[in-house]
Chain A
């Protein structure tokens, strides 16, 4: 048993260092998360190796020999206190950076622009706030064939919203708050390269934020089981540098240009007061 335990300790470390399976190169500013993960790997790795090797040592040193007898040692207050303190310190060393980074995670920077991700079984749609920088109101009441996102045709703020039925593009280096909405069941919007993710709950709007830091095309997947085609609910996010982003945005259509928005143009145009969203 002892040699096997040594093999497990050494083998696990070797696997960790040498195996080709590791995280994907990051594409957002959540390197903080990766850093916390590395700290965790170090502390837990040391604990694991030390304890497994110690067991292996005990098995060799204290393996039964004829005539041998175990020590009689019910407890040792000093040792127990000492071990508790060391563990406490290790746990604190994990928790402290973790909570600092979480504080960043929950604090969306004031300048962040908004994009909306709308999930339904089993596809993604996206919406940008348009020229006014505000997303118009939406409600599940308005969802229909022509208006899959359920935008409120009466809300003037929504008329310039850009409705995207393809890949979502994000501008490089600008913080973005991703608002998440579902019209049916719970989904989760997950781009592994961004590290961040969040569930999407029907009936409420959830969010997370990030700053894309690398140009490229990334898979977006649903990461909360949402029915039989959950595994096939995939999308794409493209991070563009500025000129590319602008030209892509140019080609998108606003809600007002879509059939659902067009039908209500007259009504909406009569509104003069800014609508309450």
Chain B
């Protein structure tokens, strides 16, 4: 089957976009701080996300210490414990993963991979970052507010989230909601930019079906986010009104500690629908960029075209669309009408099919490849394993009746950490090892990287794989203390201690990574423009790191798809996207 889009049919008539005049900064401040260059904004986003992510990591150590060695840390009581897990979860999901994938990787890679000079709305893009930073600061402020941060759980379910039985009722929850609102505003500014840039600013010849899968992933995820975040936004505003003005959107009549509250007639389940209408797509907002990036890592480092490119694109789009009709699988035991279970179990299991296709295609890309076990490749393979594991346990939780005994147990904690904690983080690491040379001009240290990789991969698996079985036994999540539960066997304490020790080791490995990031800035081996011999445009910039405007005098023209690796008959085992001419080999069959 000959296919012009996949293959190498010369330049397409008509430019995807004209060359554009850029905003030029006039001072150090506007160049590096209030910068409108997407690459600087990307670095700002990524650094902020990693910094706050480090906080979330430290919080997880404290949580694990309490679970592994109950009472050992004297300042962790139940109040602090609930605050720790809440802040850990929320930071990881929103302020680290979402911000890093879209604000970090998105900003850096969209213009470069598409051959654009910058985002189309650079000023709004800059604002996006500063509002994100403000959101992070408001969140951090809640640690210092009277009563501390909220301990409502990252799902923030009302009524408890805004009542006095939950830690952080005075300030914590208010700051959390404000911070989320700010985050969404900031994200929307960036998100509009990413979408419009992909649609409007591609280089001549860069058709949609020639875009690298990284861009497809980020692009689709951004659209999901633009559609999903508004649900969280209104949920947050309504809860804020309930908390501050005494409205009753989510609050029914309540007697709390013997007192009849002034709330009446609201619906707690309404919040859950709003939250998960956002929350489920959120999983894919994190996962789709990871899917895209990992596809490109595997293809590049296996020197082989991604298998089934068009199927991969359609799978991304199908998963994105389906992710809006599965949200209530988080609510099977929420007390909603139980008949919804039939519908949501079906949609949820159907989404497994395009997801499985992606896994097959990654694996089939390795098949008959020329596999270089570089650090990005190691992380990519580790991603497949952990994502596969977490995806398969999703079939337990999605299949409504199997979810009943497992929901809100440690099984769920293990599942979502595998699938949206560990797996995307591994891709982030893989991506950082892969693109760091472009961003800084230097390679990350290989030996430290190997240490980081093995400790993280094996450690994370050792933490979260056994944890499923605790949940199967019935050990609940969000329990400060499981002392005295008769069905919990004594050996559980041993396992919990083991998990905690491994968690601390994995945490230590991340410090090694941060050290590597900083040290290699000055001590890394010079990378050259294209150390991985990759085809995509960001590796073809005239200068490394690319300066403002990316392309010097003439922006690139694209002649082929992103995956011309090991083309039969070609001199090199890769042909850059901007290299003209037909490939000498046969049309792909």
Chain A positions near chain B (C-beta within 8 angstroms): 1, 4-5, 8, 12, 15-16, 19-24, 30, 32-33, 36-37, 40, 43-44, 47-48, 51-52, 54-55, 58-59, 62-64, 68-77, 79-80, 83-84, 87-88, 91, 94-95, 98-99, 101-103, 105-106, 120-122, 140-141, 143-145, 150, 180, 183-186, 188, 190, 192-193, 195-204, 206, 217-219, 221, 223-232, 234
Closest to A12 in B: B465
Q: Which of B231-276 contact A (CB under 8 A)?
A: 252-258, 260, 265-269
Closest to A236 in B: B486
Query: What's the Cα separation between A21 and B498 when bound, in Å?
Result: 14
Q: Is B140 an interface residue (CB 8 A)?
A: no
Query: What's the Cα separation between A46 and B345 when bound, in Å?
Result: 22
CB-CB < 8 A to A55: which residues of B?
Answer: 363, 366, 381, 384-385
The reply to whether A102 and B157 contact each other, CB–CB distance below 8 Å, is no
Closest to B351 in A: A91
Closest to B491 in A: A20
Also in contact, A80 and B402, with CB within 8 A (given A1-B381, A23-B474, A40-B396): no
Binds A, one of B25-33, B193-201, B215-223, B564-572: B564-572
Distance from A217 Cβ to chain B, minimum over Cβ atoms (Å): 8
CB-CB < 8 A to B405: which residues of A?
Answer: 23, 30, 33, 37, 192, 195-197
Also in contact, A190 and B366, with CB within 8 A (given A91-B350, A184-B163): no
Q: Is B481 an interface residue (CB 8 A)?
A: yes
Binds A, one of B124-132, B301-309, B440-448: B301-309
| A interface footprint on B453-482 (CB within 8 Å = 1, 0 otherwise) | 000001001000110011011101011111
B350, B404, B491: which contacts A33 (Cβ < 8 A)?
B404
Distance from A8 Cβ to chain B, minimum over Cβ atoms (Å): 6
> Which 10 interchain pairs have the tightest Cβ spacing?
A203-B252, A192-B474, A227-B165, A206-B335, A70-B304, A21-B469, A44-B392, A185-B160, A98-B399, A71-B368
The reply to whether A74 and B3 contact each other, CB–CB distance below 8 Å, is yes
A47, A59, A62, A225: which contacts B82 (Cβ < 8 A)?
A225
User: With contacts A24-B487, A75-B309 known, what are 16 further pairs, Cβ within 8 A?
Assistant: A21-B491, A21-B495, A23-B472, A71-B566, A80-B360, A87-B357, A140-B254, A185-B165, A186-B159, A198-B333, A202-B253, A203-B266, A203-B268, A218-B486, A225-B153, A232-B480
The reply to whether B399 and A186 contact each other, CB–CB distance below 8 Å, is no
CB-CB < 8 A to A121: which residues of B?
Answer: 165, 256-257
CB-CB < 8 A to A37: which residues of B?
Answer: 396, 402, 405
Also in contact, A21 and B345, with CB within 8 A (given A33-B405, A185-B160, A231-B478): no
The reply to whether B399 and A95 contact each other, CB–CB distance below 8 Å, is yes
Q: Is B338 an interface residue (CB 8 A)?
A: yes
Query: What's the Cα separation between A5 and B458 when bound, in Å?
Result: 10
Distance from B60 Cβ to chain A, minimum over Cβ atoms (Å): 17
A-B contact pairs, 13 of them (CB 8 A): A1-B373, A24-B487, A44-B395, A47-B392, A74-B308, A91-B352, A95-B345, A99-B346, A105-B404, A186-B159, A203-B252, A226-B165, A230-B480
Closest to B399 in A: A98
Closest to B374 in A: A64
Query: What's the Cα separation between A84 and B401 when bound, in Å?
Result: 25
The reply to whether B335 and A198 contact each other, CB–CB distance below 8 Å, is yes
The reply to whether A51 and B363 contact each other, CB–CB distance below 8 Å, is yes
Q: Is B439 an interface residue (CB 8 A)?
A: no
The reply to whether B404 and A70 contact each other, CB–CB distance below 8 Å, is no
The reply to whether B399 and A20 contact each other, CB–CB distance below 8 Å, is no
Query: What's the Cα separation between A8 and B460 when bound, in Å?
Result: 12
The reply to whether A21 and B489 contact each other, CB–CB distance below 8 Å, is yes
Distance from B203 Cβ to chain A, minimum over Cβ atoms (Å): 22
Query: What's the Cα separation between A55 and B448 when bound, in Å?
Result: 25
Q: Which of B353-404 contact A (CB under 8 A)?
A: 353, 356-357, 359-361, 363-364, 366-373, 378, 381, 384-385, 388-389, 392-393, 395-396, 399-402, 404
A101, A184, A234: which contacts B159 (Cβ < 8 A)?
A184
CB-CB < 8 A to A231: which residues of B?
Answer: 78, 476, 478-482
B165, B303, B369: which contacts A184 (Cβ < 8 A)?
B165
Query: What's the Cα separation between A88 and B351 when bound, in Å?
Result: 10
Distance from A203 Cβ to chain B, minimum over Cβ atoms (Å): 3
Query: What's the Cα separation between A124 and B317 when bound, in Å?
Result: 47
Also in contact, A36 and B388, with CB within 8 A (given A55-B363, A70-B369): no
The reply to whether A230 and B404 contact each other, CB–CB distance below 8 Å, is no
Also in contact, A88 and B371, with CB within 8 A (given A184-B255, A198-B335, A201-B268): no
B305, B339, B401, B478: which contacts A74 (Cβ < 8 A)?
B305
B157, B304, B461, B585: which contacts A8 (Cβ < 8 A)?
B461
CB-CB < 8 A to A12: which residues of B?
Answer: 465
Closest to B409 in A: A223
Q: Is B151 an interface residue (CB 8 A)?
A: yes
The reply to whether A73 and B307 contact each other, CB–CB distance below 8 Å, is yes
The reply to whether A51 and B473 contact each other, CB–CB distance below 8 Å, is no
CB-CB < 8 A to A74: which residues of B?
Answer: 3, 6, 305, 307-309, 563, 588-589
The reply to whether A62 and B402 contact each other, CB–CB distance below 8 Å, is no
